[in-house]
Amino acid sequence: MDTLSDSYNCEGDDEPPSSSDDSEPPQCIPASNRIKLFGTVPDKDWNDWKWQFRNRVTSVEQLSKYAPLSATRYAEINTVTKTYPLSITPYYLSLMDLNNPQDPVAMQAIPSIEEITVRYTGVEDPLEEERDSVVPGLVHRYPDRVLMVLTDICPMLCRHCTRKREWKNGDWVRTPDDIEKMLNYIRGNTNIRDVILSGGDCLTLSNKHLANVIHSLRQINHVEIIRIGTRFPVVLPQRIDSEFCDILSEYGPIWLNTHFNTVNEITPESAAAVDRIIRAGVPVNNQSVLMRGINDTVEKQTRLCQGLLKIKVRPYYLFQCDEVQGTDHLRTSIDTGIKIIEGMRGFTSGLAIPNFAVDLPQGGGKITLQPNYIVARSEKEILFSNYRGRMINCNNVSADQPVQTYPAPEAIPDKLIYNLPEVMDADRVII
């Protein structure tokens, strides 16, 4: 594997243009605490994703310059980072209320001592991705799609990360040789029609590197769609620059899944990043993770999902937090997730309701769960409870199982017989 510096070149020729480019609507305005925490940073730097990346907060010492930390908290964070490191972009830090220990943005980014002291069911690789890796970095679990893990680097290290096990290996990027092996596997398997680029976060790679991978995939006839999984629109939206959007436009159909977890992450900057992606012809879906104290109520999920629709992002999945070692303290019960969906269904648009999914341990794959609306059933009827608890009976028959006969055509009363030419001339007929 390459090191970060081999592939990600902060100073190189492929330096992307700053997202402060006047031609990109809509304009960003500063994130909430930017002035307070980073008031001396000029717009040119703040809107440059490579400046943001270079200036990530990666130690408790740096963090203490921004956040008030007691001696105990300082020591705890220091201890945790020896096992699970810390990385926060200045932009994401500026979204936090650093005086509130329960701030839902801070809880996703600032280490907690519970990561190493609470242990219920978490294991390193609950989804058994290593077992399903057909060549290094390529996970082939479902019949028609594969996951390409191109790097383990992320701009922000989420405390709930499913691939937290990779953090101990330091920063790595797949070599050209590794990538060629993945491509060869995909070339040789004609039932693979969907390729997901992920990581880490694959957008930590340069545009040139990403374009090479996507270009190679597009040479494979049976690859119909490419999906990109990235948290950049949420944690470093400045990364969505015009050069990246040009790649999206050139190589579609591409779908992009991102990862907002709370409404506090929806900002003018993240909305502008999403807008740029959509203008490049790429639909944006959201995959959030259900976490205790962060987004585990009906009210919080409703605000998140309604906020996402306002910036044109479709809430796609709400995932049960995987049973990953170091994340036990953030997990809620599966029942909590089902109750949240039950509390949303009917009370807000169906578009705002994600699929609640559990990625089953032992590599069992994803299943989706719904509240149970069926109260009773007979052979031809089902009794439902609606979203307000009202009981309603529904017939459960199809057209090839008629339960009632109707009058033959000659018995239809005159008033129900229409003049066919007149009907055909009409734009539409309402009966």
Contact residues for ligand SF4, defined by CB under 6 A: 154, 157-158, 161, 163, 199-201, 231
Cβ–Cβ < 8 Å for 218, 249: no
Calculate the alpha carbon distances from 310 to 31, 98, 103, 104, 305 in Å: 18, 27, 23, 20, 9
Rounded Cα distance between 368 and 222, Å, is 28
Beta carbon of residue 324, minimum distance to ligand SF4 (angstroms, whole number): 10
Beta carbon of residue 396, minimum distance to ligand SF4 (angstroms, whole number): 42
Q: What is the DSSP string of 374-403?
A: EEEE-SSEEEEE-TTS-EEEEE---TTS--
Residue pointed to by tokens 């929806």: 266
| Nearer to ligand SF4 (CB atom), residue 256 or residue 344 | 256
| Nearer to ligand SF4 (CB atom), residue 199 or residue 315 | 199
In sequence order, the 6+-apart residues with CB closer than 8 A to the CB of 177 are: none
In sequence order, the 6+-apart residues with CB closer than 8 A to the CB of 403 are: 380, 395, 397
| Structure token pair of residue 166 | 């990779």
Cβ–Cβ < 8 Å for 357, 320: yes
Rounded Cα distance between 161 and 325, Å, is 10
Beta carbon of residue 87, minimum distance to ligand SF4 (angstroms, whole number): 8
| Nearer to ligand SF4 (CB atom), residue 34 or residue 231 | 231
Q: Show which residues are catalytic.
A: 141-142, 145, 154, 158, 161, 163, 322, 359, 366
Q: How many Cα atoms occupy the beta-carbon half-sphere of 247 within 13 Å?
A: 23
- Strands 381-385 and 374-377, how do they pair? antiparallel
Task: Return the ∠ at Cα 23 (arms to 18 and 29), rounded to 5°.
Answer: 65
| Nearer to ligand SF4 (CB atom), residue 96 or residue 344 | 96
Beta partners for residue 196, in sequence order:
147, 227
- Strands 194-198 and 365-369, how do they pair? unpaired
| Structure token pair of residue 254 | 């591409």
Closest of 365, 342, 363, 269 to residue 49, by C-alpha? 269
Beta carbon of residue 403, minimum distance to ligand SF4 (angstroms, whole number): 52
Task: Return the ∠ at Cα 77 (arms to 71 and 321), rounded to 5°.
Answer: 140
Closest of 159, 153, 71, 75 to residue 118, by C-alpha? 159
| Nearer to ligand SF4 (CB atom), residue 107 or residue 161 | 161
| Nearer to ligand SF4 (CB atom), residue 163 or residue 239 | 163
Beta carbon of residue 234, minimum distance to ligand SF4 (angstroms, whole number): 8
Beta carbon of residue 199, minimum distance to ligand SF4 (angstroms, whole number): 6
**CB count, 10 Å around CB of 76?**
20
Beta carbon of residue 286, minimum distance to ligand SF4 (angstroms, whole number): 13
Calculate the alpha carbon distances from 79 to 86, 112, 160, 162 in Å: 11, 10, 18, 21
Beta carbon of residue 326, minimum distance to ligand SF4 (angstroms, whole number): 12
| Nearer to ligand SF4 (CB atom), residue 204 or residue 301 | 204
| Structure token pair of residue 191 | 């039932």
| Nearer to ligand SF4 (CB atom), residue 18 or residue 238 | 238
